[in-house]
Chain A
């Protein structure tokens, strides 16, 4: 990298810290114009920005930052009180500075060219605004001494790539895993010490035995020497063992601390997530003509950096919703005898092993009738069902894709998407959402999130001979089911335990793991997973352990692996997958739906009577049937959808059955697709020629009412 590029990269990284600092303090000064601390922070930051721009000889930026600095200094000296209009211009200036970071390094000259006029305009607006305010505040105390700006030593920060941090995490975890090997090793040495002690005792016994005998003095002396040597070995071994003991303890503490420190690096304060919120709230409220106060609590609460990254957009969306949908207009609030200023509370707190982020407002809450109407109109729920549901239960449907109760679409919200994406983002980090609402009194939405994505309490199970883990919080229970208690409905197994119907699914089939052969057991181990209104029993080989797993990223080149949340490495170095329960439930539901629909058969015939007869007969057997009236229609359908079997007539318009068979057999994917021909031409010669052309069975049309056709279908499927 050239020197100039290095300086530019450095400048950009500084802007990353300047922009939030300026924004934060400008919003404070807007509410508290005399807040000395914030004015000092603004002066410092504008000064630093000017200094950095000087290094790059970036004149436009020098002038802008100088104007900002002058403005803050004047306010600090009490010469002016920064007006809301000036705050607007200053915030626009900060936005303009921030756009520099969106431009690629190579495009700096073109960025300057594009932004020249706006930077000049903003500089002059700030200077003008400041001088106007100076005039109007002539009565202000002029000689207010400027307090000495104490350069506070801010905590230095260092930018580290997430990838590098993950590597460090992996190494720290590996070090901790490796150190745990020492403990069993120490145990084995302790056993060795016991064995040595036994040997010593046996030697003592031998000495006692031969002492009375007329054994030679030399033998007795040898035994004595042996005892002495063994004793001294025992003592030496003991000393070494004590040293090892000390090392094991020290190592365990160090590696655990090392890991914990690395985990801490992953943590960021909640403040990082909510930093842009006050300004966003101000602007949205301004645009909507509403008066809103946003209070943020728990800013110091540490949250996993990755969770913060994933929640930035969803949380901004929720705030927009709260201001747009939740908080009423000033007039509406007045009518409802509420304070004119709407209140929004954004709070982070820790409960047990989870972090809760709650966004609540004192707005209008959810309009039950309106929501019911939308749900019924969108055919999500029936009228009868909505009547039986509580307000909170109905509110859960706000997460349905495409659902909105807002009657008009604005630039802010009401497009009917967003909440489903919020739910998805929360799900991706292993959390869930709860809504509470009281009509006319407010709305509260709580995100329940794991404290860190690095550790997860899991149940380790074995499926298809391979270990996998399920997050404990997502498991309803684990139990053993006698095969006698397994019942079948439409060939689908289920059982009833604790008065609940549990649909059973084979774990190894579901995950496409290699099937293990072996005698079927009279009992099945199941892990019960709860979906919204159903219970699924995942049949597993066995339960292995319950453990806090160090979550590790799976080779990112593979992208998302269906049903897998993350990976983990056990103490013995073996891997396991941590399954994504929500996705797993979706896979189970899909697999059940597929089973329910049965095999798909396409019947092709230009005779509607024949089509209907066959359709009815096959459906009675549990097959799913689609029909086509000629070969062309059939060919198009086959290209669009996968069928398990084709039954076709021979004589049809547009494309005959013979042509259809020929085309299918030419094409790779359909070479092995079972095909049955039904025809009025029942001559042996024709039958033979079709069978040799790749048709699997040939049946006379007169036989479609008989058992032969069903037998052939069953045989081929």
Chain B
């Protein structure tokens, strides 16, 4: 993969954000990530980085199905599963909406829900796994960026972990990279 191909890959994922890449995107990308012409970028993976409360997470764009605007959530009768938020109308289908905040066991302490955390473009992301969609609301989409796979710091050997590891990204010292397969497996089991 050379510089142009990598940027092409990043640009491809951009419409998912419902944002047009800025005119100087290619230049900015090259500058931010020190991408040089003629260099091989084998081993780079495009990641979607987003925020849940005050923590940032990343997920590989290959498993992304869609990023949609926030939708009205409908509570389920007799719902005892805190990770299941309710149902939404997803492209004319009635689909379950899950709380990634709760799946990731993020503490709600100190979060004032009266003050909207979402200061720009609240979104829901839909992951695709085995032709199934798993949809979650997120507090903010930060963007899509390339990451060198060998820069991922393996966090844990725990088989039950839903994270592949940690990455460094801009001002964010540690962004947790979600293991999409483990996450979908976990959710499949939780609703079974």
A563 to B89, CA, bound (A): 20
CB distance from A62 to the nearest CB of B (A): 39
CB <8 Å contact, B92 and A575: no
- The reply on B115 being an interface residue by CB < 8 A is no
CB <8 Å contact, B92 and A558: no
Q: Which of B88-125 contact A (CB under 8 A)?
A: 88-89, 91-96
Q: Which of A512, A553, A554, A573 contacts B78 (CB 8 A)?
A: A512
CB distance from A516 to the nearest CB of B (A): 12
A569 to B91, CA, bound (A): 11
- The reply on B34 being an interface residue by CB < 8 A is no
Which residues of A sit under 8 angstroms from B77, Cβ to Cβ?
511-513, 561-564, 577
Which residues of A sit under 8 angstroms from B95, Cβ to Cβ?
555
CB <8 Å contact, A574 and B89: yes
Contacts A512-B79, A514-B75, A577-B77; is A569 near B94 (CB within 8 Å)?
yes
A276 to B88, CA, bound (A): 42
Dominant SS among interface residues on chain A = mixed
CB distance from B68 to the nearest CB of A (A): 12
CB <8 Å contact, B74 and A466: yes
Residue in B72, B74, B77, B191 whose Cβ sees the most chain A Cβ within 10 Å? B77
- The reply on B153 being an interface residue by CB < 8 A is no
CB <8 Å contact, A575 and B93: no
CB distance from A533 to the nearest CB of B (A): 26
Q: Which of A142-179 contact B (CB under 8 A)?
A: 167, 170-171, 173-174, 177
A577 to B95, CA, bound (A): 13
- The reply on A38 being an interface residue by CB < 8 A is no
CB distance from B79 to the nearest CB of A (A): 7
Which residues of A sit under 8 angstroms from B132, Cβ to Cβ?
557
CB distance from A363 to the nearest CB of B (A): 44
- The reply on A552 being an interface residue by CB < 8 A is yes
CB <8 Å contact, B74 and A575: yes
CB <8 Å contact, B89 and A511: no
A275 to B61, CA, bound (A): 50
Q: Which of B78, B84, B96, B191 contacts A511 (CB 8 A)?
A: B78
Which residues of A sit under 8 angstroms from B87, Cβ to Cβ?
554-555, 567, 575
CB <8 Å contact, A557 and B74: no
Which residues of B sit under 8 angstroms from A167, Cβ to Cβ?
93
CB <8 Å contact, B96 and A555: yes
Which residues of A sit under 8 angstroms from B188, Cβ to Cβ?
557
Q: Which of B75, B91, B191 contacts A558 (CB 8 A)?
A: B191
- The reply on B1 being an interface residue by CB < 8 A is no
Instruction: Kindly supply a per-residue 1/0 record for chain A positions 545-584, scoring 1 wherever the CB is within 8 Å of any chain B CB and 0 otherwise.
Output: 0000000111101110111100101000111110000000
- The reply on B76 being an interface residue by CB < 8 A is yes
CB distance from A374 to the nearest CB of B (A): 36
Which residues of B sit under 8 angstroms from A562, Cβ to Cβ?
77-78
CB <8 Å contact, B92 and A170: yes
Which residues of A sit under 8 angstroms from B79, Cβ to Cβ?
512
CB <8 Å contact, B92 and A174: yes
Residue in A173, A512, A563 whose Cβ sees the most chain B Cβ within 10 Å? A512
Nearest residue in B to A175 (C-beta to C-beta)?
A: B92
Q: Which of B75, B78, B84 contacts A466 (CB 8 A)?
A: B75
A174 to B84, CA, bound (A): 25
A27 to B76, CA, bound (A): 51
Q: Which of A171, A512, A555 contacts B94 (CB 8 A)?
A: A555
Residue in A170, A514, A559 whose Cβ sees the most chain B Cβ within 10 Å? A170
A558 to B93, CA, bound (A): 14
CB <8 Å contact, A563 and B72: no
CB <8 Å contact, B93 and A563: no
CB distance from A225 to the nearest CB of B (A): 41
A513 to B74, CA, bound (A): 10
CB distance from B33 to the nearest CB of A (A): 38
Q: Which of B72, B78, B93, B191 contacts A552 (CB 8 A)?
A: B93
Nearest residue in A to B77 (C-beta to C-beta)?
A: A511
A177 to B132, CA, bound (A): 25
Nearest residue in A to B90 (C-beta to C-beta)?
A: A555
Which residues of B sit under 8 angstroms from A573, Cβ to Cβ?
89
Instruction: Kindly supply a per-residue 1/0 record for chain B positions 140-159, scoring 1 wherever the CB is within 8 Å of any chain A CB and 0 otherwise.
Output: 00000000000000000000
CB distance from B113 to the nearest CB of A (A): 14
Which residues of A sit under 8 angstroms from B92, Cβ to Cβ?
170-171, 173-174, 177, 569
A173 to B132, CA, bound (A): 21
A176 to B59, CA, bound (A): 36
CB <8 Å contact, A574 and B72: yes
CB distance from A556 to the nearest CB of B (A): 10
CB distance from A510 to the nearest CB of B (A): 8
Which residues of B sit under 8 angstroms from A564, Cβ to Cβ?
77
Instruction: Kindly supply a per-residue 1/0 record for chain B positions 52-80, scoring 1 wherever the CB is within 8 Å of any chain A CB and 0 otherwise.
Output: 00000000000000000000101111110
Nearest residue in B to A584 (C-beta to C-beta)?
A: B77
CB <8 Å contact, A569 and B96: no
Nearest residue in B to A554 (C-beta to C-beta)?
A: B94
A564 to B74, CA, bound (A): 13
A167 to B92, CA, bound (A): 9
CB distance from B77 to the nearest CB of A (A): 4
Which residues of B sit under 8 angstroms from A171, Cβ to Cβ?
92
Nearest residue in A to B74 (C-beta to C-beta)?
A: A575
Which residues of B sit under 8 angstroms from A574, Cβ to Cβ?
72, 74, 89
CB <8 Å contact, A558 and B96: yes
A171 to B94, CA, bound (A): 12
CB distance from A362 to the nearest CB of B (A): 47
Nearest residue in B to A465 (C-beta to C-beta)?
A: B75
A577 to B79, CA, bound (A): 14
Nearest residue in A to B84 (C-beta to C-beta)?
A: A558
Q: A567-B87, A574-B72 are in contact. List 13 more A-B contacts (CB 8 A).
A: A167-B93, A466-B75, A512-B77, A514-B75, A553-B94, A554-B87, A555-B87, A558-B76, A559-B191, A561-B78, A562-B78, A563-B77, A577-B77
Selected A-B contacts with CB under 8 Å, 24 pairs = A170-B93, A171-B92, A173-B92, A174-B92, A466-B75, A511-B78, A512-B77, A512-B78, A513-B77, A555-B87, A555-B93, A555-B94, A555-B95, A555-B96, A557-B96, A557-B191, A558-B76, A558-B96, A561-B77, A563-B77, A564-B77, A567-B94, A574-B72, A577-B77
Question: Closest 9 A-B residue pairs measured CB to CB?
Answer: A174-B92, A511-B77, A567-B94, A555-B96, A170-B92, A575-B74, A554-B94, A512-B78, A562-B78
